[in-house]
Amino acid sequence: MSKKLGRYPAFCNRLVLELKLPPQDSYYKLRHIIEEINGLLSTYSEESDTVSPLLGNVCFASSQYNMCFTLKSFANIYSQSHGGRINANEFARRLWGDIYFNNNTRKFTKKPPHATSRRSFVEFILEPLYKLFAQVVGDVESSLPRILDELGVHLSKEEMKMNIRPLLRLISSRFLGDFNG
């Protein structure tokens, strides 16, 4: 079915909460999965199909947490939160691969600006998601409201008292939009 839709999902259910992989390791795992899929496609497909988040034919998803996004959809969230000052198409092109953001120059580079630099996918997508998940799992009452406010996600007091899994589903839905997969 995903092939018919032109997208291949990279499932993220287990990376954060079950496997507890750090963001950088999750990036490597996702990249490896995509490389494996491309290897299988080249071996068993007569067409020269390639999947890549940069082509827009890979979505990152978790049915367990009602979450699905592409580089473009995540870039759109950043663009909207910055009043449209960020070109979503240009930003999305810089969210995958060996691309780094230099905070000093405010530019993207192919070489890490310093030894502890993180790839843009890690810095702009995985780390914010990990931070959000960590707050929901650990510190709902004190710091989660501040983070949700930064993301433009509003929850009632009753919703804030929900169990972890339904709360993560609700927050994901409000942050990334509804996903019915």
Q: Give me the long-range contacts of 151-160 (CB less than 8 A, separation at least 24).
A: 151/81, 151/175, 152/81
Instruction: Domain of residue 13: give its range.
Output: 8-176
Q: What is the pLDDT along the chain (181 residues), one digit of tens a residue?
A: 344 445 555 556 677 667 778 999 999 999 999 999 999 999 988 777 899 999 999 989 888 888 889 999 999 999 988 888 999 999 999 999 999 999 999 999 999 999 999 999 999 999 998 888 888 887 667 788 888 888 888 999 899 889 988 998 999 888 887 665 4
Which one, of 158, 159, 136, 163, lies nearest residue 147 by Cα? 136
CATH number for the domain harbouring residue 97: 3.90.1430.10
Q: Report yes or no on 2 lying in a domain.
A: no
How many domains does the chain contain in total?
Answer: 1
